Amino acid sequence: MSGLFDLTGRRALITGSSMGIGLALARGLAQHGASVVLNARNAARLHEAAETLRAEGNEVATAAFDVTDNDSVTTAIAQIETQAPLDILINNAGMQHRAPLEDFPEERWDALFSTNVKSAFLVGQAVARPMIARGRGRIVNIASVQSELARPGIAPYTATKGAIRNLTRGMATDWAKHGLQVNAIAPGYFKTPLNQALVDDPAFSEWLAKRTPAGRWGNVEELVGAAVFLSSDAASFVNGHTLFVDGGITASL
């Protein structure tokens, strides 16, 4: 393993990591030497995910807290830091709701922005403070191809992911001088529980295969390389960048 990508001795918190992309990224960072802290609100599912990773020989801790609640975030991050300092944060927690924009419920709009944007701000801020004091740290926000593109029925989600892309730029602009690297990964269409309805729709999968130069859905393991890169010394001068991992969908008309 190249030393540039070696995460041995580093500790990473991954929000929303009891399943899907978050769990895959936690596993990938652990396989590259990091000790990982899994987060979710569902304690039972979190415990199950942690046991799965431990059975594979990984060093895993858990922190069940609500990433949209400032008091919960502040308390949880303080407790995590007393155990060992965090070197890496991956802001992955997110949700989706599909509806025509003209009928989109206000409460779903609020929930989307709270889960997808506010959580990245709150957890990012809480983790950044001790990182700033230490003069180093990596933060990776999970954006989306919807940071760049739109589709019918998900305009509010698109707005949240556009916000994440610009929040990433803002975090980097404010915190790079303190030794932090803040970047984002923008996944394309991946097989995840969040996308299960689309995966199960033959018409959509056929459209996606034609629309994506790679001709297929992505597998969550294919996001690990980007996460390891942005979390490692290999990305020491990469800041405020959004890395699209999308099979070419944003490159092609």
Q: Is 187 within 8 Å of 246 (Cβ atoms)?
A: yes
Q: Which tokens belong to 86?
A: 């965090």
Side-chain half-sphere exposure of 97, counting CA atoms within 13 A: 20
Q: Residues with Cβ < 8 Å from 197, sequence gap 6 or more?
A: none
Active-site residue 189, yes or no?
Answer: no
| Sign, CA torsion 114/49/65/78 | negative
d(CA 121, CA 91): 9
Residue 238 sits at the vertex; the CA angle it makes with 217 and 86, to the nearest 5 degrees, is 85
Instruction: Choose, from 109, 157, 189, 217, the residue flagged as catalytic.
Output: 157
What is the b/e burial string over 82-95, where b = at least 16 CB atoms within 10 angstroms of the residue's CB?
Answer: eeebbbbbbbbbbe
Q: Which tokens belong to 29?
A: 């960072």
d(CA 130, CA 87): 10
Torsion angle of the four alpha carbons 149, 150, 155, 161, in this order, in degrees rounded to the nearest 10: -20
CA distances, 238 to each of 9, 73, 124, 186 (Å): 21, 27, 18, 15
Q: Any idea which residues carry the catalytic annotation? A: 157
